Amino acid sequence: MPELPEVETVRRGLEPALVGARFASVEQRRPDLRFPFPERFVARLEGARVEALSRRAKYLVADLSTGESLIMHLGMTGRFTVALPERTIVPGEFHHDPGTMPIHDHVVFKLDTGTRITYNDVRRFGYMDLVASAELASCKHFAALGIEPLGNALSGETLARLFVHKIAPLKAALLDQRLIAGLGNIYVCEALHRAGLHPEAPAGSIATKTGRPRPSAHRLAEEIRAVLNEAVAAGGSTLRDFAHADGSLGYFQHGFRAYDREGEPCRNAGCGGTIARIVQSGRSTFYCADCQTR
DNA sequence: CTTACACCCTGCTCGC
DNA sequence: TGCGAGCAGGGTGTAA
């Protein structure tokens, strides 16, 4: 579920409830998610105040007053639910996202403000870890991460440098978190479609032999930025709608142009093509063979 | 170094 | 209606 825009939306939803609050108690309901929880997970959280909540790629990072940071990855199905104190919670009446069940509530954070934040993860591909805040950048989760696609680093020049001489397909290169960190299957499909680039084209084809950007590199950088910004904006509006309803965070539908639209007409202006589906490195790719060229 | 693939886990949908 | 196959937006480990 969550790629960069969804994680950023979750961050914005959690921030007002979490930052400045203290963990009054933490309930860890199983020993592991994707990985085991760190040693003394609950003890290291309880009593700590959250100083800031940021995002790196698809990770959430809560900086704590203890000098440690809580790293959270949502995997495929991780969600947070915020129950504000002014909203009386009647036992048995607790609201969940459609499709989520209390049996998959794995961590419950109770804050000193009375707010309760619940982490639910059906497939348990998400995970949490605690690392020293000073060593975040070099910790095992972050050390190998590539550039932030919404940061200043993303440009045609950078993409050309990262992809030059790569024969792997563009799709695979864009999904590689060591090069660009935060894109997932949906937004890679969307960015390539918007940029008019074929997902099977060699990644190196956007660069000259010397690593200079071809026009397609600039186009790709622009479209990555555009589609992510639009999705973050859409998430923000979803957040406003949902936050007052039941506190659900982490899922929203965005109007995709290619993703999951196999057999439907291409939405690029002037193109009469049809969206096709192929499989690349085990994942579905959706693209238009008429307007996405190699 | 690359790239490909199985795998982790649960639930939903689709076709027979 | 039941049931198995296939699929799902995440990443990791292993092998070639």
Give me the pLDDT at residue A294, please.
86
Residue A106 is given by DSSP the state: E
> Which residue's entry shows tokens 């930052």?
A19
Question: Which nucleotide is nearest, taking the CA of residue A281 and each C1'?
Answer: B4
Positions on chain B within 7 A of a protein C-beta: 2-12
Strand B atom within 7 Å of A43 CB: no
Give me the pLDDT at residue A108, please.
96
Question: Which nucleotide is nearest, taking the CA of residue A204 and each C1'?
Answer: B2
For the question of residue A110 being annotated catalytic, the response is no
Kindly report the CATH class assigned to A156-288: mainly alpha
CATH number of A4-135: 3.20.190.10
Cβ burial of A203 (10 Å; 0-12, 13-18, 19+) is buried
Residues 63-122 of A with CB under 7 A from strand B: 99, 101, 103-104, 122
Give me the pLDDT at residue A2, please.
86
Q: Are A46 and A273 in contact (CB under 8 A)?
A: no
Q: What is the DSSP string of A157-210?
A: HHHHHHHTT--SBHHHHHH-TTTBSS--HHHHHHHHHHHTB-TTSBGGGGB-TT
Residue A24 is given by DSSP the state: E
For the question of residue A2 being annotated catalytic, the response is yes
**Distance in angstroms, CA of A169 to C1' of C14?**
22
Give me the pLDDT at residue A1, please.
58
CB-side neighbour CA atoms (13 Å) of A100: 25
* Domain coordinates in residue numbering, chain A: 4-135, 156-288
A254 among annotated binding-site residues: no
Look up residue A73 and give its two tokens: 């990855």
Residues 126-145 of A with CB under 7 A from strand B: none
Reading chain A (294 residues) residue by residue, the pLDDT tens digits are 589 999 998 999 899 999 999 999 999 999 999 999 999 999 999 999 999 999 999 999 999 999 999 999 999 989 898 888 875 444 433 444 444 578 999 999 999 999 999 999 999 999 999 999 999 999 999 999 999 999 999 999 999 999 999 999 999 999 999 999 999 999 999 999 999 999 999 999 999 999 999 999 999 999 999 999 999 988 866 665 444 444 444 445 567 899 999 999 999 889 999 999 999 988 999 999 999 998
**Distance in angstroms, CA of A16 to C1' of B16?**
51
Give me the pLDDT at residue A94, please.
40
Rounded CA separation A35/A7 (Å): 20
Report helix, strand or coil for A17: helix
Give me the pLDDT at residue A90, please.
43
Give me the pLDDT at residue A102, please.
85
For the question of residue A294 being annotated catalytic, the response is no
Catalytic residue among A55, A56, A58, A171: A58
Question: Which nucleotide is nearest, taking the CA of residue A176 and each C1'?
Answer: C11
A104 among annotated binding-site residues: yes
Ranges of H-type helices in chain A: 4-18, 41-45, 156-163, 170-175, 185-195, 215-243
Look up residue A156 and give its two tokens: 């045609």
A171 among annotated binding-site residues: no
Q: Could you tell me which of A96, A117, A122, A95 has the C-alpha nearest to residue A107?
A: A117
Buried b vs exposed e over A44-71: b needs ≥16 C-beta within 10 Å?
A: bbeebebeebebbbbbbbbbbebebbbb
